[in-house]
């Protein structure tokens, strides 16, 4: 393992969502243990099975039997997608530092100590992986990701090179203060910027390997989902706690335009012109009606936001009652001789 500066005392949780990755479980477990063999502080490995239809669960059970109870499995009732699976793992994590990465072996666990070192020694809240030499297809993966990264940076104002890299290191108390829904795992840095200073978010170049086992679960269609999610992120980052300003502003503008059109048509009527068949009359009426509806929507949205912030938000996933224990049961400790004083 690369020589790193002494780390403050902490506990590390590694969260890996899996969906139909039976071939990757054993190599991933072996790789994590190899890279963290001399890690000086306790750590745990949390797999989240996102409703896999293959033998992923059996492979995880075998890993637990072989290596010990510092490996845990969170089993979801069905395929809730990567964001919900990641949230489930974060919720279950008991560590002060939480690291997330994909289970397809393209992210390399060898980078984990380096990310954690920067997080703790530089007093950051998030260190995001940056795949400088990405081993993916040019047209289906690299180019769409570059476009998405630039759009996300421009809309959110948080400039990172690689939002889509799942390898990230977080302070547990910070990442647990936000909730992830839909397919918002790509925007975790932006969400964290709502609860911490952007100056406490940074990135670190990491390794990236071509996929050699299993099959990719993503295609070109995810580019369009990113655009839709980006619109949602833009709204929530700026108007989550004041949606009435968004809808009310549009409503006032439309109401003003509609009112001016109808006032003009009324003036024409007063001077004796026939306005009953004028398209402008209908346009003014519907623009005014649309403005009033936007204002009403803003009032309703404000009411709903008060209810939302006044109650606990629900989870984006459902846990299945299974053979795997819910509670944290153990940590992996390095040999006593490698412990820091």
Do the strands 126-130 and 168-171 form a parallel or antiparallel pair, or are they unpaired?
antiparallel
Judged against a pLDDT cut of 70, whether residue 99 lies above it is answered with yes
Weakest-pLDDT range from 269-273, 294-298, 332-336: 332-336
The arithmetic mean of pLDDT across residues 175-198, rounded, is 82
pLDDT (0 to 100) of residue 140: 53
Please give the mean pLDDT across all residues of the chain: 84
What mean pLDDT do residues 280-291 have?
Answer: 93
Q: How much is the average pLDDT of 216-245?
A: 70
Which range, 34-38, 45-49, 133-137, 275-279, has the best average confidence (pLDDT)?
A: 45-49
Q: What is the pLDDT of residues 242-278, one digit of tens each?
A: 888 888 888 999 999 999 999 999 999 898 888 888 8
**Whether the predicted model's global pTM rises above the 0.85 cut:** no
CA atoms within 13 A on the CB side of 47: 32
Q: Which of 46, 64, 68, 55 is nearest to 24 (CA)?
A: 55
**Rg, Å, the chain Cα set:** 25
Q: Which residues pair with 72 in a beta bridge?
A: 46
In terms of pLDDT, which residue wins out, 295 or 182? 295
pLDDT grade, residue 137 (50/70/90)? low
Residue 271: the pLDDT is 87
Q: What average pLDDT score do residues 42-56 get?
A: 95
Please count the other Cβ atoms lying within 10 Å of the Cβ belonging to residue 231.
10
Residue 341 has a pLDDT of: 46
């Amino acid at each position: 393992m690369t020589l790193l500066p002494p780390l403050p005392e902490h506990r590390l949780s590694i969260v890996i969502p899996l969906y139909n990755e039976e071939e990757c479980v054993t190599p991933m477990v072996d790789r994590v243990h190899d890279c963290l063999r001399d890690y000086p502080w306790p750590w745990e490995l949390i797999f989240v099975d996102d409703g896999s239809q293959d033998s992923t669960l059996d492979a995880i059970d075998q890993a637990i039997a072989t290596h010990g109870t510092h490996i845990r499995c969170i089993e979801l009732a069905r395929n809730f997608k990567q964001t919900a699976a990641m949230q489930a793992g974060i919720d279950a994590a008991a560590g002060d530092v939480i690291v997330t990465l994909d289970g397809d072996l393209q992210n390399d666990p060898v980078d984990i100590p380096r990310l954690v070192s920067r997080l703790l020694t530089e007093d950051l809240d998030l260190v995001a992986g940056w795949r400088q030499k990405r081993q993916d297809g040019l047209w289906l993966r690299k180019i769409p990701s570059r476009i998405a990264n630039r759009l996300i940076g421009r809309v959110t104002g948080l400039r990172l090179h690689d939002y889509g890299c799942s390898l990230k290191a977080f302070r547990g108390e910070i990442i647990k203060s936000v909730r992830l829904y839909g397919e918002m795992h790509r925007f975790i840095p932006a969400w964290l910027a709502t609860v911490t200073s952007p100056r406490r978010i940074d990135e670190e170049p990491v390794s990236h390997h071509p996929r050699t086992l299993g099959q990719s679960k993503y295609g070109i269609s995810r580019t369009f989902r990113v655009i839709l999610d980006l619109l949602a992120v833009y709204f929530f980052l700026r108007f989550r706690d004041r949606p009435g300003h968004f809808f009310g502003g549009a409503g006032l503008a439309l109401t003003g335009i509609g009112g001016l059109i109808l006032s003009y048509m009324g003036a024409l009527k007063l001077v004796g012109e026939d306005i009953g068949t004028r398209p402008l009359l209908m346009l003014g009426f519907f623009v005014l009606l649309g403005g009033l509806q936007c204002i009403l929507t803003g009032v309703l949205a404000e009411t709903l936001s008060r209810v939302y912030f006044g109650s606990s938000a629900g989870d984006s996933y459902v846990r299945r009652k299974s053979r795997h224990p819910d509670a944290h049961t153990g940590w992996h400790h390095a040999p006593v001789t490698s412990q820091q004083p």
